[in-house]
Structure formats: C-alpha cells, structure tokens
Structure 1
Amino acid sequence: MFKFSKRILSAAVSAIMLTSALGGCAGTANQTSSEAVSSAQTGGTRTVTDHAGNAIELPAEVNRIVISSIMPLPSVVALFDGAAEKVVGMDPSSMAAAKNSILPNIHPEILNATTDFLKDGNLNIEEVLKLKPDVVFYSADNTADYEALTKAGIPAVGFSTSKFKFNTVETFDNWVTLLGEVLGQADTAKQIADYGYQVEDEVTSVIKAAGDSIQKPKVLILFRYDNGTIKTSGSNFFGQYWLDTTGAENVAKDLKGQAEINMEQIYQWNPDMIYITNFSPYQPDDLYNNSIEGFDWSKVKAVQDKKVYKFPLGMYRWFPPASDTPLAMKWLATKNQPELFKDVDMEKEVKEYYKRFYRYDLSDEELQQIFNPSSEASGLKK
C-alpha cells in the first residue's frame, strides 16, 4: 500500500505561494525581409542562453509571446504570474488541446491567441511579424524556425524535447527554469519543478522496494494513430521514460523515437495494456468495438481484457512534459501497478493539485473531462 507523502504537498504549497495559476512539430519556414520587432525596451536588454546553446538578446520586459513548434508550452507558460495573457500566438495543435482542456477555465485569455502564423507546421514570418512579439518560443531541434526568425530580427528562444534524454520530469524542469529566466521568475520556476522530482522519487522508490516480485505488464503506446497510420513511442522518447518509471515494459523498446508500426507487429507483441495519447482522435471504445476500418483489434490481448486507456488531458495533454506532469506519473503508476498504488485516489490527487498549484477548485464535471478527454483535443479527425 502506498500514499504520497505530506512532504510533497507541503512543497506544492510553498511553490504556489510564489506563483499564480499555472515537442512539437518541426516545419519549414517562409522567410521574409527583416524588420523591427516591437518590444518593451525600458531598462535595456538582457541575454539568456537557450537549450540550443544560442545566446539570445531579449528586452528587459517580455510582454508579447508567440509559441511556435513547442506544443505543450502554453500550459507551462501559464504557471507564471500574469504570463498567460502575454501569449499572442500558438500552434494550432496547442489551441485544439486548449479548447478541450481545463486551461481556459483558469486562464480564458489564452484562447485570444492566434494560430494564423502556422499552417501544417510551416512558419509564416510575415504573420509572425504582424503579432509584434518580444520573443518567439520554438523547438530547439527546429533549426529552420530559428534561422528564419533570427533573419527577420525576432528573438527566438529554443526549448528542447530531446536534450534531457526524454526524461519527462527533467525536461519539464529545464523548460520552467528557462522560462523563469525569460520571464524574470527563475526562483519560482525551480520550486515548481522540484515537486515533479519528489513525485518521481516516491513512485520509483515504491517500485524498487517491490523488487522482482512485481509483474510488469507489456504496454503499447499509440502515440499517433490517424489517417491509416500508427506511430508508437520507442526507446528514445517520452513513452519509454513513463513506462520504465511506473513499472511497465515497453513492447516497442527495440524501436527508436516515434516509430511507425503495423498490426502484424502488434499481433506479435500482443500487449497486455494499450495507452492512446491525445495526439490521436481514437478512444478505447474504437478499439473495443473494432470500428476502425482496416485495423482488426479483436485479436489483441489488451483489447480483449478491456485494458485500453486514453491519456488524460488537464491543462494540456498528459503524455509529453507539461504542467500536469506529476499527475501523469501518478496516474500511470496506478494503472501499471494497481496493487502497489491501490491507496492512491487519483480524483482526490487531481483536485488537490489544481487547488494548490492553480488555486482552482475543480468541479466533478471538470474532473470527468480530464479523465475522459474528447477526440477533438487531438486536432485531428477519425
């Protein structure tokens, strides 16, 4: 039996007293001539070093933020006091998640952001310039975005999804630390991130103590499943970290990154459990009812045993690093090792987390929305 310690909740309280409420697609960039970008210059400028190793000169105050190819970041930015209203542009996929999440219930101003500067992952510099950003946040792996933004004279700060070995908690930590430097709240950022490490320690210590006595279920993660194509999470992606940390075996561990697979491979693996992320429009019932044309799921053990789960969606999708990352770890632990974590009441955990970190009282209806996210949150059609 296991309960998360009061030490964690105490740390959460300390963090929230200093805050308000709380990778994406790479693409080609349309380049245009450089022109001045409006920014708050009062007090001069400062320099931060991003995850790509670039030294970026920023205005003393950042008041207008565009978030391009790093999709979870709007919800993470919202952790910082007054920052949500500064987001003037975001990825269409981020907006699809936001419209079907709890985020606008807490920060309705986030929906005022435009998505017009991005289409099919392609960055339109002319549209970015119209937004007069003080800074653009982008995926540090997307060198095309960086080159186009820099050429246009727009400060671009890169946030990495791959630099931190796809450790979800460590990635989240580094995101909020860099955000703290950009937004001038570095001390607050570290205190928030510490909570994730504490949850990680709690979960891994329980699993380690159980030793070889536990049985690890064979798990398949359907990372992207749409338009007749299935992509899973291989060994060097966030799914591997999640499953290793919460007591499960990744059936796709011999594959790399976001790997495309087919039904024959799935039949060979015959997973005990399946998780569907919110980057896919499909729901567990679609597999149970075998209603997806061209895919016969009836032969798969996880489907036969009714052990197909949709990742929750709170402030953002729970699969990648995001502001609900500690909750995602607890939820996966209760699914993968239900006996070890049978005393963890996830509904209570989520309500307490939102109250302490976001100063928001979730209704029962909102709680059910988190655990039963809509297909529309993927931004894709079945």
Structure 2
Amino acid sequence: MRSRLALSWMLALSLLLVACTPAASAPTPTLSPTSAVTIAPEPTATVTLSPSPTQALITVTDALGREVIFSQPPQRVVIAGRATALLADAAYLFPEAKEKVAALSRTSQGAEGDFLTLVDPNLGKKIVFETNVGAEQVVASQPDVVIMKTYMAESLGKPLETLGIPVVYLSLETPEEYQRDLRILGQIFQNPQRAEELVSYFDTQIQNVTQPLQGLLPEQKPRTLLLYYSDRDGQVAFNVAPKAWMQTIMTELAGGRPVWTDIELGSGWTKVNLEQVAAWDADVIAIIAYTANPDEVAARLKADPQWQAMRAVRDGRLYAFPKDFYSWDQPDVRWVLGLRWLAWRLHPEAYPGLDMVKEVRAFFEQLYGMDAKIFDARLLPLLKGDLR
C-alpha cells in the first residue's frame, strides 16, 4: 500500500515538472535587406529593413554636380515639373522605365496628344501631375527618386530635398549634356550598358551629319534663320533662341551660320519684328511651331507679299521645321532628327538620296522598339514639315 502511494506521488511530481518546463522557441525567419514585413491587422503598414553592411551604395552625380546616394536601386521613379516631356522621352529610352516610372507631370505639348502612349501601354495607370505640381503632391506619390530639370531646383527641388526626398537634376540641353545625362539615367535604371549604347547612337548620328561637311569654308555655309512662330492669345510673334540653346548649336553643326546671334539675346526666346527678319535677309529660313501646324504657317508666309520680298522665299528656301508629337528643334531626343533634316536642307548635295521618312522610322524603331504597325498607324500621320 505504501509503495503504491509512493509511486503515485512520484508520478504526480514528474507531471508537475514537465508542465513547468518552457517550450522550445520557434526559429526566427531571416529576412533579406530589402524585405518588407506586413504587420497585421493593417495590411498597408510596412517595415523596410536597413540594407546589409556589405550591400554596395549607388552614388549618382547629377547635372548640378550634387552627389545623390541610394542604398538600393530606386523602384519608384517620378518625373516632375516643367519640360517633363523632354525628360520622359529620354527616360523611356530605357526599357526599365515602363515598370519603374510611377508618376510624371503632363507630357503633352499640343493637340497631337501624348507620345508616351505609343511606348508604354500602362501609362494610363500612372499618376499624372500638372507641370506646376507642388512638393506635397509629389511626396504623396511615394517616390524613391524624383527627376527634374535643373532650373526647377529652387521652386520644386529644394522643398522636396527638405522633406528628405532624393532629387536628381538633369539638363539635356546640349549634345555634351545628353551624353552625361543619359549615363545618369543609366545609373538610376541600373542599366549602364543601355546608356553606353545610347551615347554611341547619338555620337554616330552626329558624325553622320558632320562628316560630309568637313572642310566647308565660311562663305559656303548658308546664312540661316530659325524662327519660332507663336500665336498665343491671338497675337502672332516670331522669336529667336539664345546662343547656347540647341537651336543655335544645331544650326552650326548642320553647316549653317545663325544670323540672329548678332543682336542682344535674352536667357529665353527673344521676340523679333518683321523689320529685323527682313534686315537679316537669310539664305534659309526654317519656321518652328510648337502648337500650330508648321506647314500651314509656312504656306501663309510664302503667300504674304512682305515675305515674298525676302531672299529665302524667292529662292524657295523657306521651310517648315518638322515635328510629330513634338517639334524636332528642341532638346528632346528628336534633336538628332532635326539636326539631320536641317543639314540636308542646308546642303542637299552632301546627302544624296536621303529619305527622311525612312530615317524617322528607323529612329523610333531603334530607340523605342516601335514596330511598323504602330508607326504607320499612330506616328506617320502626325509627321509635318518639309520632309520630301
């Protein structure tokens, strides 16, 4: 009886000890440096872990010489402010832009619509700002980086930087800046190989234009006038570009002598009257129109008796500068098309058999992968200017 009682006490004591022993802990999962943990019950709350000490930092030196450091490649790229179309067209030369561009300011320049609808089928799902977007709206788009023009630094860039948002400034105003800024975009999209391909492409296009013009004497270079026509608020005006702008650079590369650089020019477009245009009496005049049809503008000028007295009109050398969605004179990626067209118009003998429509088709195929059906249906009908 006593032994049975003792056995019962020993059994009870064993059960008590087992109950008091703590259970083995479950193994803690190991997360990669870029992992995000969803915290219940709020499915939208995320915790981003710091990168590992061994993960390489990405340092981008932008067009203002600022170093912008990223702990990991930007996944949400935002393009904001004025002249966004010029920035976005350059960004979309990189295939990664379709996925990584999350928001951008309006890129349409006129009634033709938005070029990017031809290259990004998901454009309609992205956030779209106005060109005068404020910092608060940009922050709400949750950017990993914001790309903007250098002249937006004070008005939009600085408020974003104050809020801790990484900002990368691009210029894209000259051929040299295009080389630098394409390489910056290559870093942002983590595709330096594509950046070098693009730099090589633009270099080759310039060489193809300038090589046949080597050895031209000054007197063999036509006196050339690029005139920007505007009719804002019903007021017709003609304007010329500053010396450092792409329009002037393009004229010189194309083997022309820009006649308008002999007057005092401002930092932007300088308005000129008809008397000044007549006084220049250029050999060649090219009419630029951003919101109007350049073909129609050129036709009206040719029919005007005052213009008929000018040398360029008398010699049949007043031309409409080409455009599609955007005019080719500006520092958009199309500037190499504008350069080739202008050189051909100034020196047709140097480019025998040149087919500009064929050049345009190859341009969009090589740079944007645009197939023939989309080009023929959506872009070819928009081509304006003296292309033939």
- Return structure 1 stretches of 4+ with deviation > 6 angstroms: 38-42
For the residues of structure 1 that align with 2:270 and 2:47, how far apart are their CA atoms?
Answer: 41
1:1-382 equivalence runs, <5 A? 43=51, 46-58=58-70, 60-67=72-79, 68-71=81-84, 72-92=86-106, 94-96=107-109, 100=113, 102-118=115-131, 122-144=132-154, 145-161=156-172, 166-167=173-174, 169-211=175-217, 214-222=220-228, 226-227=232-233, 228=235, 229-254=237-262, 255-256=264-265, 257=267, 258-289=269-300, 297=307, 299-303=309-313, 305=316, 307-313=318-324, 316-362=326-372, 363-366=375-378, 368-372=380-384
TM-score, length-scaled by structure 2: 0.72
Deviation at residue 189 of structure 1 after TM alignment? 0.2
Deviation at residue 370 of structure 1 after TM alignment? 4.9
Deviation at residue 95 of structure 1 after TM alignment? 2.8
**Equivalent AA in structure 1 for residue 383 of structure 2:** F
Q: Which structure: larger Rg?
A: 2
**Equivalent AA in structure 2 for residue 87 of structure 1:** V
Deviation at residue 100 of structure 1 after TM alignment? 3.2
**Equivalent AA in structure 1 for residue 102 of structure 2:** V
Are the equivalent residues in 1 in contact too, given 2:287–2:321 (CA < 8 A)? Answer: yes
- The equivalent residue for 2:31 is none
**Equivalent AA in structure 2 for residue 244 of structure 1:** E
Which stretches in structure 1 are left out of the alignment for 5+ residues?
Answer: 1-37, 374-382
For the residues of structure 2 that align with 1:279 and 1:318, how far apart are their CA atoms?
Answer: 10
- The equivalent residue for 2:33 is none
State percent identity of aligned pairs: 22
Deviation at residue 98 of structure 1 after TM alignment? 10
Q: Residues 299, 220 of structure 1: CA spacing in aligned structure 2 closer, same or farther, 3 A cutoff?
A: farther
- The Cα offsets for residues 105-128 of structure 1, whole Å up to 9 and x where unpaired, read as 23233354444353xxx3411211
Are the equivalent residues in 2 in contact too, given 1:270–1:300 (CA < 8 A)? Answer: yes
Indicate the SS of the match to 1:126.
helix
Deviation at residue 77 of structure 1 after TM alignment? 0.8
Are the equivalent residues in 2 in contact too, given 1:138–1:156 (CA < 8 A)? Answer: yes
- The equivalent residue for 1:34 is none
Are the equivalent residues in 1 in contact too, given 2:147–2:170 (CA < 8 A)? Answer: yes
Paired residues in the alignment total: 325
Are the equivalent residues in 2 in contact too, given 1:235–1:253 (CA < 8 A)? Answer: yes
Q: Which has the higher helix share?
A: 2
For the residues of structure 1 that align with 2:166 and 2:89, how far apart are their CA atoms?
Answer: 21
Which stretches in structure 2 are left out of the alignment for 5+ residues?
Answer: 1-45
Greater relative CO (CA pairs within 8 A, separation 6+): 1
Q: Residues 324, 285 of structure 1: CA spacing in aligned structure 2 closer, same or farther, 3 A cutoff?
A: closer
**Equivalent AA in structure 2 for residue 54 of structure 1:** R
Q: Residues 64, 276 of structure 1: CA spacing in aligned structure 2 closer, same or farther, 3 A cutoff?
A: farther
- The Cα offsets for residues 307-364 of structure 1, whole Å up to 9 and x where unpaired, read as 23133236x5422333334333222221221121132211222222333333323344
Q: Residues 59, 279 of structure 1: CA spacing in aligned structure 2 closer, same or farther, 3 A cutoff?
A: farther
